[in-house]
């Protein structure tokens, strides 16, 4: 009888674990780098449950083999920092420490074994929360251990509490519930910077430089910008009242706005004349490719024959969006980028998805020191393919893929899971993207310092790079009758000359024309 009961109990436990595996399968990266994960911590003890989830994800998915001694050292150190001012004695021992308070001690040593180190960390956690009960919470200790662990990884691997994770996902989605205005603090006044078209704010007639003095009857003076933004955002179809002061008329008006889903504008289009189009992409969100397609359709209506794609100050975003963007300017099936994870067989290639007429037109891509991640994928693929002329500055050099994981408590983690390479095999993190035409900002000093010495030439000998000084280019344009003012973008003007008048049939021709222009510029 006891044997039968025991067998039934074991079958019950087995069913529970099978159910957990079946209903919570390991997610895979799909349209966006997002994965849901179940809790795998202790079955009966929920202490450090989220820490264990994070550790398991790092152990199984981080781009580099985890150094468990380093990870747990950082996690424990951050926990101790929460109480170090409370008369805690910490003495080092071989590969570990001795903690002492009021004659009570706990000692531990760390190894390169994850499970052994987990026991040590749990011991430190129990000692600290017991000896400092009422002064530090379990939640604070666990969060500290997670932050310590994550800080010991690369700069792009980040843990986010539930509120931070929700905000991050909203930005990644490229849309939110709000009123459609970009705001900032100017002299402690909540000032409107820009109004998003077709938004509640636009329909209400709110303008840039208007000042918001009250939100729902509450004065905004003294609030932080994050608090102010949170007050304006909310669920769609809810209302918010704002008092808007217009400096030009010195009139304050009470306006009621109904929140709605706001699509963040990441793409801007402009017809530069001479059948040349200009498209600026500020980031890569879920809306970017749809917005780019609208811009390209407008370009067709404007009979655009040459295009300038501006990726300056673009910090990146979603990998799949960068692939879609690059696809418009490549031939279908052409390699755009490939990622390489920790294991040799953990490799994935991404190819062009479309076959459009834009891959036959002259294209210039603008980058600078702040062009990173997804923008480097686009620039690198178009450079390697010979489809585009790259102008500007050496890019940032952020060639790693982050996958987003959701924890069981609603928090989340952005973890570096692989690195990406241009079609010719250039490691973007090491080399960045080197422009073929580099601008030296010798007047305004717009550029940051050159990239670190370890960022070598990205596939093109430094001697072949065309270097044009800002002062020379400015003088050259003035001689050509161009009016130079604060609205003038010298790099756009140079790019337009290099690929148009007449439209150059290939990158080689555009590069040859750029060299010819550079020679002319140097003679002025």
Note whether residue 336 is domain-resident.
no
Q: How does residue 87 score in pLDDT terms, banded at 50, 70 and 90?
A: confident
Note whether residue 343 is domain-resident.
no
Q: How does residue 126 score in pLDDT terms, banded at 50, 70 and 90?
A: very high
Q: What percent of the chain has pLDDT over 70?
A: 86
- Tell me the angle at which helices 490-499 and 470-479 cross, rounded to the nearest 10 degrees: 70
Can you give the pLDDT at residue 171?
65
Residue 7 pLDDT exceeds 60 = no
Note whether residue 4 is domain-resident.
no
Same domain, 90 and 206: no
Same domain, 97 and 203: no
For strands 335-340 and 347-351, give the pairing: antiparallel
Q: Which residues contact 45 (CB under 8 A, 6 or more apart)?
A: none
Residue 23 pLDDT exceeds 60 = no
CATH of the domain at 284: 3.90.226.10
For strands 306-310 and 276-281, give the pairing: parallel
Can you give the pLDDT at residue 447?
56
Q: How does residue 133 score in pLDDT terms, banded at 50, 70 and 90?
A: confident
Same domain, 254 and 368: no
Q: How does residue 231 score in pLDDT terms, banded at 50, 70 and 90?
A: confident
Which of 216, 234, 263 is a domain's end point? 263
Can you give the pLDDT at residue 330?
94
> Distance between CA 87 and CA 181 in Å, rounded?
50
Can you give the pLDDT at residue 44?
47
pTM, to two decimals: 0.72
Same domain, 465 and 497: yes
The whole domain housing 500 covers: 267-330+355-395+428-523
Same domain, 376 and 464: yes
Higher pLDDT, 167 or 397: 397
Same domain, 498 and 446: yes
Can you give the pLDDT at residue 66?
93
For strands 276-281 and 267-273, give the pairing: antiparallel
CATH of the domain at 198: 2.30.42.10
Residue among 60, 66, 13 nearest 37 (CA):
60
Q: Is the Cβ–Cβ distance between 125 and 136 less than 8 Å?
A: no
Which of 239, 263, 287 is a domain's end point? 263
Which of 209, 244, 263 is a domain's end point? 263
Same domain, 125 and 52: yes
Q: Give the pLDDT confidence of 334-372 residue by residue, as tens digits.
A: 999 999 988 888 899 999 998 877 888 899 999 999 899
Residue among 188, 187, 207, 189 nearest 197 (CA):
207
Can you give the pLDDT at residue 30?
30
- Which residue pairs, CB below 8 angstroms and at least 24 apart, start in 229-233? 229/183, 232/178, 232/179, 232/181, 232/183, 233/176, 233/177, 233/178, 233/259
Cα 175 to its chain centre, rounded Å, is 15
What phi, psi does 442 have (nearest 5°)?
-85, -5
Note whether residue 369 is domain-resident.
yes
Note whether residue 12 is domain-resident.
no
Note whether residue 25 is domain-resident.
no
Burial class (CB in 10 A: 0-12, 13-18, 19+), 439: buried
- Tell me the angle at which helices 138-151 and 114-131 cross, rounded to the nearest 10 degrees: 140
> Distance between CA 123 and CA 110 in Å, rounded?
12
Q: Which residues contact 281 (CB under 8 A, 6 or more apart)?
A: 266, 267, 288, 292, 309, 310, 311, 314, 325, 375
Average pLDDT, the chain: 83
Can you give the pLDDT at residue 168?
78
Same domain, 248 and 371: no
Same domain, 369 and 504: yes
Burial per residue of 311-326, b for 16 or more beta-carbon CB atoms within 10 angstroms, e otherwise: bbbbebbbbbbbbbbb
Instruction: Transcribe 282-297 into DSSP letters.
Output: --B-TTHHHHHHHHHH
Note whether residue 53 is domain-resident.
yes
Higher pLDDT, 314 or 523: 314
Higher pLDDT, 453 or 482: 482
Q: How does residue 177 score in pLDDT terms, banded at 50, 70 and 90?
A: confident
Same domain, 279 and 359: yes
Sign of CA dihedral 478, 480, 481, 485: negative
Can you give the pLDDT at residue 445?
67
Same domain, 115 and 48: yes
Residue 256: how many CB atoms within 10 A of its CB?
10
> Distance between CA 495 and CA 189 in Å, rounded?
39
Mean pLDDT of 135-156: 94
Can you give the pLDDT at residue 227?
80
Mean pLDDT of 309-327: 93
Q: How does residue 175 score in pLDDT terms, banded at 50, 70 and 90?
A: low
Can you give the pLDDT at residue 58?
96
- Residue located via tokens 């250039």: 426
Same domain, 78 and 121: yes
Residue among 445, 369, 171, 403 nearest 379 (CA):
369
Residue 230: helix, strand or coil by DSSP? helix
> Distance between CA 372 and CA 377 in Å, rounded?
8
Can you give the pLDDT at residue 216?
93
Q: 3-class secondary structure for 21-37?
A: HHHCCCCCCCCCCEEEC
Q: What percent of the chain has pLDDT over 90?
A: 51
| H helix or E strand, kind and range, residue 244 | strand 239-246
Where in the sequence numbering do the catalytic residues fall? 373, 384, 398
> Distance between CA 6 and CA 38 in Å, rounded?
28
Could you give the angle at the alpha carbon of 239 between the alpha carbons of 235 and 242, nearest 5°? Answer: 120
Q: How does residue 247 score in pLDDT terms, banded at 50, 70 and 90?
A: very high
Note whether residue 17 is domain-resident.
no
Domain count, the chain: 3
Q: How does residue 174 score in pLDDT terms, banded at 50, 70 and 90?
A: low
| H helix or E strand, kind and range, residue 57 | helix 49-61
Mean pLDDT of 74-99: 89
Residues in the chain: 524
> How is residue 482 annotated by DSSP?
P
Burial class (CB in 10 A: 0-12, 13-18, 19+), 405: buried
What phi, psi does 241 have (nearest 5°)?
-100, 130
């Amino acid at each position: 009888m006891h044997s039968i009961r025991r067998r039934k109990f074991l079958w019950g436990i087995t069913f529970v674990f099978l159910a957990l595996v079946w209903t919570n399968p390991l997610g895979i990266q799909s349209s966006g780098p997002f994965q849901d994960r179940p809790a795998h911590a202790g079955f009966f003890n929920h202490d450090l449950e989220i820490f264990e989830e994070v550790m398991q994800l790092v152990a199984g998915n981080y781009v580099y083999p985890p150094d468990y001694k380093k990870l747990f050292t950082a996690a424990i150190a951050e926990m101790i920092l929460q109480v170090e001012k409370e008369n805690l004695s910490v003495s080092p021992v071989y590969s570990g420490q001795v903690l002492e308070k009021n004659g009570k001690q706990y000692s531990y040593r760390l190894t390169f074994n994850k499970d052994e180190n987990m026991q040590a960390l749990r011991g430190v956690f129990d000692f600290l929360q017991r000896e400092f009960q009422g002064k530090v919470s379990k939640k604070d200790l666990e969060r500290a251990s997670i932050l310590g662990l994550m800080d010991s990884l690369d700069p792009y691997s980040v843990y986010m509490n539930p509120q931070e994770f929700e905000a991050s996902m909203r930005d990644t989605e490229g849309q939110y519930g709000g009123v459609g205005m970009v705001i900032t603090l100017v002299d402690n006044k909540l000032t409107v910077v820009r109004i998003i078209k077709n938004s509640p704010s636009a329909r209400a007639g709110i303008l840039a430089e208007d000042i918001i003095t009250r939100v729902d009857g509450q004065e905004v003076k003294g609030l932080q910008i994050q608090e102010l933004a949170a007050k304006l955002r909310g669920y769609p179809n809810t209302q918010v009242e704002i008092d808007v002061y217009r400096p030009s008329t010195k009139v304050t008006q009470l306006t009621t706005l109904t929140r709605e889903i706001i699509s963040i504008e990441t793409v801007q289009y402009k017809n530069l004349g001479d059948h040349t189009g200009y498209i600026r992409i500020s980031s890569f969100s879920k809306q970017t490719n749809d917005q780019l397609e609208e811009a390209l359709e407008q370009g067709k209506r404007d009979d655009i024959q040459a295009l300038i794609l501006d990726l300056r100050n673009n910090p990146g975003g979603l990998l799949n969006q960068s692939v879609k963007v690059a696809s418009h300017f490549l031939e279908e099936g052409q390699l755009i980028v490939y990622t390489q994870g920790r294991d040799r067989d953990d490799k994935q290639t991404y190819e062009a998805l479309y076959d459009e007429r834009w891959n036959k037109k002259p294209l210039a891509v603008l980058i600078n020191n702040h062009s990173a991640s997804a923008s480097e994928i686009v620039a690198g693929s178009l450079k390697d393919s010979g489809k585009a002329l790259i102008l500007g500055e050496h890019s940032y050099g952020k060639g790693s893929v982050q996958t987003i994981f959701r924890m069981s408590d609603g928090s989340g983690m952005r973890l570096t899971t692989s690195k990406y390479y241009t079609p010719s095999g250039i490691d973007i993190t090491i080399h960045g993207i080197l422009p073929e035409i580099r601008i030296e900002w010798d007047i305004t000093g717009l550029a940051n310092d050159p990239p670190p010495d370890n960022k070598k030439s990205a596939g093109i000998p430094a001697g072949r790079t065309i270097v044009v000084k800002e002062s020379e280019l400015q003088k050259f344009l003035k001689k050509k009758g161009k009016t130079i003012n604060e609205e003038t973008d010298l790099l756009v003007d140079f790019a337009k000359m290099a690929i148009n008048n007449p439209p150059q049939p290939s990158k080689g021709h555009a590069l040859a024309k750029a060299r010819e222009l550079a020679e002319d510029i140097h003679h002025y």
